[in-house]
Structure 1
Amino acid sequence: MSANLDNVLLLALANDELDKFLVGEPFYFQEAKNDYEEPQNIVAAFDLLVLRYWQQTRDPQFPVRWVTALLKILATYPDRNRAIYVAASWVWYYRFCLSKKQAQPEGLYADLFEVDMGAVALALQRQLELNKAELVQDTRWAGGSWNSQNGQNGLWGPLMRTALVVRDKLGGPDFVPANL
């Protein structure tokens, strides 16, 4: 990993712009090496930056800052669908990593921080409920026809699959909307 990658997260923290890192705004964007676009390469950003930062610093404020930044994007980010999509992806990948920690106590995620994601789940659930119609119409990222049933459900379908996996297979938190 290059020092430049380290500096992206460090700069976001120093500039109080962790929210911009989470949504993948330019400069804080980590490109996905996939066949499709993503607003942020969450897997790489988490493993190469967040996890590494945590392992190197054990910054006791970081887990709370991370949750606070997720809540901030859900409450204030202008592109509501992007905020919902990345927040759900961050929650999913964090819970996936925690499941790896439990399965392999000596593995890569052995010392991953544990933080209550309940407030994020509630905010995410509320935003999903409020923005369903817009999410169904949004064909960006995983909402593209390549990932939707009959190309008809935009981001809503992938977000519902993510919410159900987090709740049913990764131990929560539950952000499945009432209007599923």
Structure 2
Amino acid sequence: MISTASNVLLEAFSHNAFEKFLVGEPPYFFHAKNDNEEPQNVSQAFYTLIIPYWNLTKDIDFPKRFSSALYQLLDTYPDKNRAIYVAHEWIWCYKYFFDKNILNSSEYYRELFEVDLSQVAYLLKSLIEENKEGLINDHRWAGRSWNSQNGMWGPLLKVSETVRDKLGGPNFVPTNK
């Protein structure tokens, strides 16, 4: 069984705050060992919370809840660059684990939920294009100078292309690259 007391995902669900969990707002930040500062530890949260939740519940509403929360986050979160960065990470992570599901018949990944991310990808692409200059000048997280010469823009572009070209995910590669 999944413990509610130590599970920030379930806490977020119980407080109707799934978007806050996705973006890593306290108290919904998932604490995990990570070498780099991130707004939310997406990969660890997906592997440690999302997959077990799905494997246990097979909640038929979860895929729609996931895509709706990502869309809402992109549409309304005041820090647009943070919303873009985090939504980007969640989509990459989902497609990565979904690809593992296809390539690896491991019990843990078996039957990972399918979700339509087309509307989220459309909005994400639009926001990336609109916020290009701000993303280039944003040196948080993957945009730090040790990782990128052009702020968040370069890492976001690289991951967008990876999701589209290597993971068969939705296309949110900006046209103004």
Question: TM-score scaled by structure 1?
Answer: 0.93
CA contact (8 A) 2:39 2:86 kept: yes
Q: Which residue is 1:100 aligned to? A: 100
Provide the residue aligned with 1:11 in structure 2. Answer: 11
1:101–1:107: 8 Å Cα contact kept in structure 2? no
1:160 aligned residue: 157
Normalized against structure 2, the TM-score is what?
A: 0.95
Q: What letter matches 1:163 in structure 2?
A: S
Closer/same/farther in 2, CA of residues 128 and 42 from structure 1, 3 Å limit: same
> Deviation string for 1:76-98 (max 9, x for gaps)?
00000000000000000100001
5+ residue gaps, structure 1: none
SS at the partner of 1:145?
coil
Higher helix proportion? 1
**Residue-by-residue CA offset, 1:102-144 (whole Å, 9 max, x unaligned):** 1012342112101111111101100101100000000000000
Structure 2: give runs of 5+ residues left out of the alignment.
none
Aligned partners of 1:69 and 1:60: how far apart in 2?
A: 15
Alignment match, 2:133: 133
Q: Report the secondary structure of 1:147's partner residue.
A: coil
Q: Following TM superposition, by how much is the alpha carbon of 1:32 offset from its aligned partner in structure 2, in angstroms?
A: 4.3
Conserved in 1, the CA contact under 8 Å of 2:2 and 2:53?
no
Identity of aligned residues (%): 52
Match of 1:55 in 2: 55
Partner residue in 2 for 1:20: 20
Matched to 1:10, the amino acid is L
Alpha-carbon distance between aligned partners in 1 of 2:127 and 2:99, rounded to the nearest angstrom:
26
Residue 177 of structure 1: aligned partner: 174
- Whichever residue aligns with residue 129 of structure 2, its letter is E
Deviations 1:39-59 (A, max 9, x none): 000011111111111111111
Q: CA shift at 1:34, angstroms?
A: 2.6
CA distance in 1, matches of 2:92, 2:12: 22
Provide the residue aligned with 2:76 in structure 1: 76
Runs of 4+ in 1 over 4 A off after TM superposition: none
Change in 2 beyond 3 A, CA 1:31/1:106: closer
